[in-house]
Amino acid sequence: MFKANDNFAILPESYLFSEVARKIREFREANPDKELIRMDIGDVSLPLPAVVVDAMRDAATQMGESAGFHGYGPEQGYEFLRSLIAEHDYVRRGIECIGADDVFVSDGAKSDLGNFTDLFGKNVRIAVAEPGYPVYVDANVLAGRGGQEQSGRWSNFTYIECPASAGFRPSLPNDRADVIYLCYPNNPTGVALTRDELKKWVDFALANNSLIIFDSAYEAYITDSDVPRSIYEIEGAEKVAVEIRSFSKTAGFTGVRCGYTVVPRTLRFTFDSGEPADLNKMWRRRQSTKFNGVGYVVQCAAASLYTPEGKAAVKTHVDYYMRNARLLREALVEKGWEVVGGVNSPYVWFRPTVKEGNPGSWELFQKILDTANLSSTPGVGFGACGEGWLRFTGFNTAEKTLEATRRIKELTL
């Protein structure tokens, strides 16, 4: 008899953002006359830049002609795009150890974050910084690495707690872990690590033979000069870190789907047998088995972002969302609430002051939804350290963000 993957039975039934979306649907059905403003998931609101649309149109035209038609592409991504990524995002920024052969074009950061777990040994110890993007935990639970769940924590994982008292910054764990998930600038808190702070993690991984999965989806939002734009700015990171990036938040690609993962050829780990395991080769093998690459039209669209027009468009998008984040941050600070983020990140993380009681994140989410008709993302959805906190996104339009700040100012909880 067919037996289903038991890990689905132990995973919470709904993914965080699906649960938020469900509650929003319920609210809309019950309140059809209310004007809800979405401040929850980090979905972008600006349309695609003209340079991207032109590139897609040209590529689509080519695809309709015998001379320009492209069938299956290379699973790793077209060389033209991988070279642009290596050259512009790494070599020109002084990171010469990364080349086109280290880059794998993907259909977005989320899929690669989940799929990369295929490369981990069955019993590896996973460490996650908490609060953190729920995919790190959920994907490893599905692969059978979680153990038992109790109060939102899994017995086999090491939680790197980043509490409010530490400014949501991570401290090195007492024990080694095989795989360490880090996301900086952080989703959800917006906290960014300085070069010195990140170096501690790279040194820890080097000393302990650990792999760092560095989720760098929000790199374009960094404004502080002492915050590295890539983990490979830190010496030795090319031996221990995989970096995952996305065009979703920089150029409006949430619906287009394109990103990339850097798996340096210099990474060296081992199989159980002690034989060397080359992750770059393994990831290529994995992708060629389970993935047929990103569409030609989409890769041409991504390539257009490396032209002067494309770079200018990315800057316009990033500046626009950062202005929104700043406005939100200011409105929340003005209320006297605890606020983090919104400086090197489009997310603002906050803890409302309430008249009485000690409400949890979901209760606060519901109150703000009901009274101000603003949705948010409950902090506890990113792990126990996020309880009592909420996240607003700067990705809505400037007009709606302004209206949201007006409602925030009037809000009493």
- Residues 67-106 as x/- pattern, contact with ligand MLT by CB under 6 A: ----------------------------------------
- Supply the DSSP string of 147-167, one letter for each residue: --EETTEETTEEEEE--GGGT
Beta carbons within 10 angstroms of residue 287's beta carbon:
23
Count of residues interacting with ligand MLT (CB under 6 A): 5
Interhelix angle 296-303/50-63, rounded to 10 degrees, is 150
3-state class of 13 per DSSP?
Answer: coil
Of 199 and 391, CB closest to ligand MLT: 391
- 38 touches ligand MLT by CB under 6 A: no
Of 280 and 393, CB closest to ligand MLT: 393
- 324 touches ligand MLT by CB under 6 A: no
Please report how close the Cβ of residue 359 comes to ligand MLT at its closest, in angstroms: 22
Cβ neighbors of 235 (< 8 A, separation 6 or more) are 199, 202
Of 280 and 375, CB closest to ligand MLT: 375
Of 22 and 281, CB closest to ligand MLT: 22
- 110 touches ligand MLT by CB under 6 A: yes
Please report how close the Cβ of residue 267 comes to ligand MLT at its closest, in angstroms: 25
Please report how close the Cβ of residue 110 comes to ligand MLT at its closest, in angstroms: 5
What residue has token string 């609210």?
Answer: 27
CA angle 187, 389, 362 (to 5 degrees): 105
Cβ neighbors of 316 (< 8 A, separation 6 or more) are 49
The closest alpha carbon to 392, from 359, 369, 412, 363, belongs to 369
Please report how close the Cβ of residue 339 comes to ligand MLT at its closest, in angstroms: 18
Please report how close the Cβ of residue 215 comes to ligand MLT at its closest, in angstroms: 10
Cα dihedral 93, 97, 98, 100, rounded to 10, equals 120
- Residues 133-172 as x/- pattern, contact with ligand MLT by CB under 6 A: ----------------------------------------
**Assigned token pair, 362:** 């979901």
Pairing of strands 179-183, 211-215: parallel
C-alpha span between 374 and 118 (Å, rounded): 38
C-alpha span between 141 and 167 (Å, rounded): 28
Of 42 and 378, CB closest to ligand MLT: 42
Of 187 and 304, CB closest to ligand MLT: 187
- 187 touches ligand MLT by CB under 6 A: yes
Of 86 and 404, CB closest to ligand MLT: 404
Pick the binder of ligand MLT from 20, 42, 157, 177 (CB under 6 A): 42
Of 21 and 97, CB closest to ligand MLT: 21
Pick the binder of ligand MLT from 21, 41, 206, 354 (CB under 6 A): 41
Question: Secondary structure of the chain: what % helix, strand, coil (to 5)?
Answer: 45, 15, 40
Q: Which residues bind ligand MLT (CB under 6 A)?
A: 17, 41-42, 110, 187
